[in-house]
Amino acid sequence: MKFIIEKIKLYFPLVKSLQTALLTITGVAGFMSARCPINHWWTMLLLVVSLVFTISGSTVINMWFDHDIDKVMDRTHHRPLAAGRIPLKHALLFGLTLSVAGTAIGLFLSPLYGALLLAGILFDALVYTIWLKRRTCWSIVWGGIAGGMPILAGRALGLGSVDGIGLLLALAVLFWIPTHMLTFSMRYAADYQAAKIPTFPSTYGESVTRKIIAVSSIIAAVLITSSAVLIEVRQGFLYLLGVLSGGLMIIAFLVMIRPSRRLNFSLFKYASVFMLAAMLLLAI
């Protein structure tokens, strides 16, 4: 038992639990937004397991491929693969196993749902991480597409098809990604420079990056609120979502006109809280 616990502690950081949890919640929110009555507890269980496995699997593959750049970044040099605490081949096998298992469960629930989960893995692991991340700062667009797949897949599972609201929700996540990632890349600009990873701040400058953050935040808030209206979220919840969206817009605007490291990181934190709260409101 002690051996198992030690292994869990060693491998657990590979899945980036907070990121995985947030994206899993978006997938559940997508499913619940279709107003699916949970007639079978196992449907929800398999939905959650398939999301956790596929999201975690692609994250592990990401960390496996990026272990070399993690070594030179102060923020990430302590990670298990960068520090050499886990053999690379073991990590790759772990990531592939999670990805295959999650996709298989997804295909069991619905061929369309499983295909969308697989698309998310391919966009994240192959297109974003392996192909584009080290070549262009625009790689985050493809990372954003991957991030939007869980909510699109969840709604598709509930409806049996891909609809306009599902695409709006996926686009909302796509435009939320820059708010989340670009603020992060500004805070840790020295790390990305040391790893020779192109970012928007290093390519276009911080002024342009802040404007992109502000615009993407506004678009994300509008898309999520519009989706809530189309889903016919209850009026009280809709008002609350409007307040949260307004908060995101205000902080993003302040970052643009009164730049500071503290305000920049406040936006990074608030963006995650906003997405979590918005997904819970959509699900309820």
pTM for the full predicted model: 0.94
The pLDDT of residue 39 is 58
CATH number given to 1-136: 1.10.357
Q: What is the mean pLDDT of each run of 10 residues along the chain (284 residues)?
A: 77 92 95 74 92 97 95 91 93 97 97 98 96 95 94 95 96 90 87 93 91 88 92 88 90 83 83 91 83
Instruction: Give the helix ranges, DSSP H, for the chain.
Output: 2-11, 17-33, 41-65, 67-71, 88-109, 111-121, 139-159, 164-187, 189-194, 200-204, 206-231, 235-257, 261-283
The pLDDT of residue 36 is 62
Domain extents for the chain? 1-136, 163-284
Q: Does domain 163-284 have CATH number 1.20.120?
A: yes
Q: Which residues contact 7 (CB under 8 A, 6 or more apart)?
A: none
The pLDDT of residue 259 is 80
The pLDDT of residue 235 is 86
> Would 1-136 and 163-284 be classified into the same CATH topology?
no
Q: What is the DSSP letter of 258?
A: S
The pLDDT of residue 232 is 86
Maximum CA extent, the chain = 55
Q: For residues 58 and 282, what is the distance between their CA atoms, to the nearest angstrom?
A: 26
